């Protein structure tokens, strides 16, 4: 049994990172955060004393052992969260694959995300553009530095918030803690943030969220109005005797064909939900690539 010794917290964290190689990046971020917080709490102001760090790390556990605990735990959670009926339904079942999307809550939550993304997109976009230009404009004054610092901190916090939204609505594992950062003076931290690829990718994501949000929102609203309109048209026709016309020329749909509107409505809903799921998965991949540390 090779007993590894660690005299710096950063060494222990990098050993843990290595031991968790290949694990979900979101899990990695949580594990590193909890570990660092624990060691810092235990060490207090002895964080730079090699002997104290060594003792604390030994008490905390071998990195391999800790990594295993995280992996085992995640495996159990995933197993427990996996809904039972999904396993029993045959995957190749065409009917199931086509219609299950309607009863799957994740389709509807993804649709909600598409509607919501216009609002968050506007907020993120405004925030980044304002923050960047304000920092640039004020950089000639001394006040520009704290403004930029606050802006960077807010971007990191918003990345976590967006991650929570994406995990809830798009059903993809995202970090539950802030990304760990090297301890040190304010200046060192600032340099760490500036050198972190993720800071810039997060800003890019926040800017991208506006055009994406506009596209998502327009698509969702158009599809939903089409579905609801086709659903309501026959009812309006029967109740109020309103004729249903198609196109500018005003071709009147004959009465016998009105129930077909419902069929069409359902077909469009089905297609929309499939597309929404697909877009949701693609967007979740984008969010993971840009917001989570690799």
Partner 1 sequence: MGSVDEAPDHNDDAMQRKLQKELNAASVPIVLLAILARAREPLYGYAIAREIEQRSDGAAVAKAGTLYPVLRTMAANGLLSSEVEPSVAGPPRRYYQITAEGRRTLELWRRAWRRTRDFVEPFLDAEEDEHD
Q: Which residues bind partner 1 (CB under 8 A)?
A: 1, 30-31, 33-38, 40-42, 44-45, 59-62, 65-66, 68-70, 72-74, 76-77, 176-177
- Name the minimum Å distance from CB 59 to partner 1: 6
Q: Nearest-CA neighbor of 219 among 132, 280, 174, 128?
A: 280
Identify the DSSP state of 91: T
**56 touches 39 (CB < 8 A):** yes
Residue 13: CB minimum distance to partner 1, A: 12
Q: Could you tell me the two tokens for 207?
A: 């800017």
Give the position of tokens 């923050």.
Answer: 131
Q: At CA 113, angle to CA 110 and CA 118, rounded to 5?
A: 145
Residue 47 is encoded by which pair of tokens? Answer: 């964080």
For residue 280, give every residue at least 6 positions away whose Cβ sits within 8 Å of its Cβ, in sequence order, or none: 106, 110, 113, 114, 169, 170, 171
Minimum gap (Å) between residue 85 Cβ and partner 1:
20
- Select 176 or 274, whichever has its Cβ closest to partner 1: 176
Nearer to partner 1, 81 or 248 (CB): 81
For 170, counting Cβ atoms within 10 Å of its Cβ (0-12 exposed, 13-18 middle, 19+ buried), the class is buried
Cβ proximity to partner 1, 58 vs 214, nearer residue? 58
76/97 with CB nearer partner 1: 76
Shortest gap between Cβ of 67 and partner 1 (angstroms)? 9
Closer Cβ to partner 1, 7 or 132, answer by number: 7
Contact (CB, 8 A) for 28 and 13: no
- Closest distance to partner 1 from the beta carbon of 159 (Å): 16
Whole-number minimum distance, CB 141 to partner 1, in Å? Answer: 29
Q: Which is nearer to partner 1, 82 or 103 (CB)?
A: 82
């Amino acid at each position: 049994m090779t007993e590894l010794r660690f005299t710096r917290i950063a060494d222990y964290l990098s050993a843990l990172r290595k031991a968790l190689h290949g694990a979900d990046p979101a899990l990695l971020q949580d594990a590193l955060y909890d570990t660092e917080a624990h060691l810092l709490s235990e060490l207090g102001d002895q964080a730079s004393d090699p002997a104290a760090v060594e003792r604390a790390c030994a008490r905390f556990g071998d990195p391999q052992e800790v990594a295993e605990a995280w992996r085992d735990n995640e495996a159990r959670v995933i197993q427990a969260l996996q809904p039972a009926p999904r396993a029993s339904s045959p995957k190749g079942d065409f009917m199931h694959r086509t219609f299950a999307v309607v009863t799957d809550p994740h389709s509807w939550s993804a649709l909600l995300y598409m509607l919501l993304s216009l609002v968050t997109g506007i907020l993120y976009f405004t925030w980044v553009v304002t923050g960047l230009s304000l920092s640039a404009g004020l950089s000639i004054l001394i006040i520009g530095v704290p403004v930029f610092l606050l802006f960077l901190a807010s971007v990191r916090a918003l990345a976590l918030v967006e991650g929570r939204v994406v995990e809830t609505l798009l059903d993809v594992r995202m970090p539950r803690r802030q990304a760990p950062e090297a301890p040190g003076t304010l200046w060192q931290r600032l340099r760490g943030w500036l050198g972190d690829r993720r800071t810039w990718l997060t800003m890019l994501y926040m800017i991208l969220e506006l055009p994406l949000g506009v596209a998502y929102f327009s698509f969702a609203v158009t599809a939903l109005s089409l579905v609801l309109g086709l659903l309501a048209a026959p009812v309006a026709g029967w109740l109020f005797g309103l004729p249903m016309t198609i196109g500018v020329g005003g071709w009147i749909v004959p009465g016998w064909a009105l129930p077909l509107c419902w069929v069409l409505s359902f077909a469009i809903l089905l297609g929309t939900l499939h597309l929404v799921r697909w877009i949701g998965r693609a967007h979740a991949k984008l969010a993971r690539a840009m917001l989570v540390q690799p």
